[in-house]
Amino acid sequence: MSSHSPPNDLVLFHYVFSPYARRIVWYLQLRRIPYAQCLVPSYMPRAPLAELNVSYRRIPVLAHGREIYCDTRLILSTLDKLFPPSEKYPGLEPQTAEAKALTKLLIRYTGDAGIFARGASLIPTNMPVLKDEKWVKDREQFSGRKLTIEAREKGRPESLVHMRDLFVLMEHTLLADGRQWVLGDNPSVTDIEAVWVLHWMTTMRGALGTYITEKEFPKTFAYVKRFDTETKKARGEMEKPVTLKDDQTVEAILRMSLDAAVKEEVDSSDPTGLRKGEEIEMWPIDSGFSHKDEGELVGLSADEMIIRKQAKGKELRIHYPRWGFRIARAGDKAHL
C-alpha cells in the first residue's frame, strides 16, 4: 500500500476540535476501522473540498472512494452498511427496537433540538478563537446570526439551563442505576449519541461555570471519563490514521472508484416529484445553508439524496441525508 492509498478507501475531512467530527473518529476507533484523514482549517476556505467541487461547508465529510458523504448521521449509517459487524470490526449498533429508537431520539435531541447549539453558545468568551476575526466572520456567515461577545454573555444563563437538562437526563435516567454504558455492559453507538456534547462541554475549561458540576452529576462525569479512556485504548490498538496532505487527498480520492453497490434510484413516489437526471440543488436547513451542492439527481429515497458531479474531469457522487436538508430544482426560486 502506498502512503497515498487510504485504508478501506476512507478519507475523513475534519479538524481535531470539531465535536461533530469526533463522533466519527470515535466510531472508527471503537470499531477499529482503519482510515485516512485530511485535516482542514476550522473555517473556510477548505481547498481540497473545493477542488473536489464539494460546496457543503460543514465538517466532517467522509469520502469512500469517489462517494462523498455529508453529515454525521448519514456517515454513521453508511459506515454501518459498509462494515457489517465482524470479528475484525466489532459492531456498535444497538440491537433491540427500544435501543434503536433511543439512539435516534438522542441525536434528534442533542443535534436538532439544540443542545449542540447551546454548547456552542457556552464557549467561554475568553477563548482565543472568539477573538479571531476570521473565525467570527466565518461563523456569522455559517449561522446567519451576529456573534458579539455581549450577546454571548447575555445568552449564557439560558444556555446553561438548557445544557443542564442533558446532564439531568443522564444522571437521573440513563445512568441512574449505576450502569457503565447506556445499553449496559458495552459501549455502543448509543453512547456516542449520548456522550459527544457532554465530552465537549466537560473538557472545555469554563464552559459549565459553577452551575453544572461533577459533585452534582458524579455518574455523568465518570461516564464521560470512562468513554474517553475506552476510545483512547481503542485508538492504541488500531492502525494510526494516515494523514494526507491536501494535494494527496484530492489525487487519492479521484484515483479511487465509485462504489458499485450504490444504487442510482429515484423514488417515483417522492413528494417533491423530482425525477432522475434533473439538475437539482441541495443544502442543509439549520446551518451552513448558503452553501448548496448542485448536480444531476441520481438517487432519492426517504433517507438520502445523491447527485452526480464532475471534479477535474472525474465523476463523483455527493450524498446528503434527507433529515435536516432541502432539495429543489436548480434555479427554482419558489423555494426561497
Ligand X SMILES: N[C@@H](CCC(=O)N[C@@H](CS)C(=O)NCC(=O)O)C(=O)O
DSSP 197-215: HHHHHHTSTTSSTTTS-TT
Question: Of residues 25-44, which lie at the interface with ligand X (CB under 6 A)?
Answer: 42
3-state secondary structure of 4: coil
Of 56 and 217, nearer to ligand X (C-beta) is: 56
Window of 13-21, 93-101, 236-244, 266-274 that interacts with ligand X by CB under 6 A:
13-21
Helices (H), 217-321: 218-236, 246-255
Under a CB-based contact definition with an 8 Å cutoff, are residues 80 and 33 in contact?
Answer: no
Rule CB under 6 A: say whether 71 interacts with ligand X: yes
Rule CB under 6 A: say whether 72 interacts with ligand X: yes
Under a CB-based contact definition with an 8 Å cutoff, are residues 330 and 280 in contact?
Answer: yes
Of 64 and 73, nearer to ligand X (C-beta) is: 73
Under a CB-based contact definition with an 8 Å cutoff, are residues 276 and 297 in contact?
Answer: yes
Q: How far is the CB of 124 from ligand X (least distance, A)?
A: 17
Other CB atoms within a 10 A radius of the CB of residue 98 amount to 10
Rule CB under 6 A: say whether 304 interacts with ligand X: no
Window of 69-77, 187-195, 246-254, 255-263 that interacts with ligand X by CB under 6 A:
69-77
Window of 17-25, 169-177, 227-235, 326-334 that interacts with ligand X by CB under 6 A:
17-25
Q: Which residue is nearest to ligand X (CB)?
A: 58
Q: How far is the CB of 61 from ligand X (least distance, A)?
A: 8
**Spatial separation of the C-alpha atoms in residues 303 and 156, rounded to whole Å:** 35
Kindly tell me which residue out of 25, 59, 274, 316 binds ligand X, with binding defined by CB under 6 A.
59
Residue 293 pairs in a beta bridge with: 282
Under a CB-based contact definition with an 8 Å cutoff, are residues 319 and 306 in contact?
Answer: yes
Grid coordinates of 257: 472508484
Q: Which H/E stretch holds residue 116?
A: helix 115-121
Per-residue contact flags (x/-) with ligand X for residues 187 to 216, judged by CB under 6 A: ------------------------------
Of 74 and 266, nearer to ligand X (C-beta) is: 74
Q: How far is the CB of 219 from ligand X (least distance, A)?
A: 26
Q: How far is the CB of 277 from ligand X (least distance, A)?
A: 28
Q: How many residues contact ligand X, by CB under 6 A?
A: 13
Half-sphere exposure of 205 (CA within 13 A, CB side): 3
Of 19 and 241, nearer to ligand X (C-beta) is: 19
Under a CB-based contact definition with an 8 Å cutoff, are residues 303 and 322 in contact?
Answer: yes
**Spatial separation of the C-alpha atoms in residues 74 and 97, rounded to whole Å:** 20
Rule CB under 6 A: say whether 18 interacts with ligand X: yes
Window of 66-74, 93-101, 121-129, 201-209 that interacts with ligand X by CB under 6 A:
66-74
Under a CB-based contact definition with an 8 Å cutoff, are residues 291 and 55 in contact?
Answer: yes
Kindly tell me which residue out of 9, 13, 19, 109 binds ligand X, with binding defined by CB under 6 A.
19
Q: Which H/E stretch holds residue 69?
A: strand 67-70
Rule CB under 6 A: say whether 167 interacts with ligand X: no
**Cis (ω within 30 of 0) for the bond into 45?**
yes
Q: Which H/E stretch holds residue 196?
A: helix 189-202
Kindly tell me which residue out of 142, 167, 217, 227 binds ligand X, with binding defined by CB under 6 A.
142
Q: How far is the CB of 108 from ligand X (least distance, A)?
A: 11
Which residues contribute to the site for ligand X (CB under 6 A)? 18-20, 42, 57-59, 71-73, 111, 142, 287
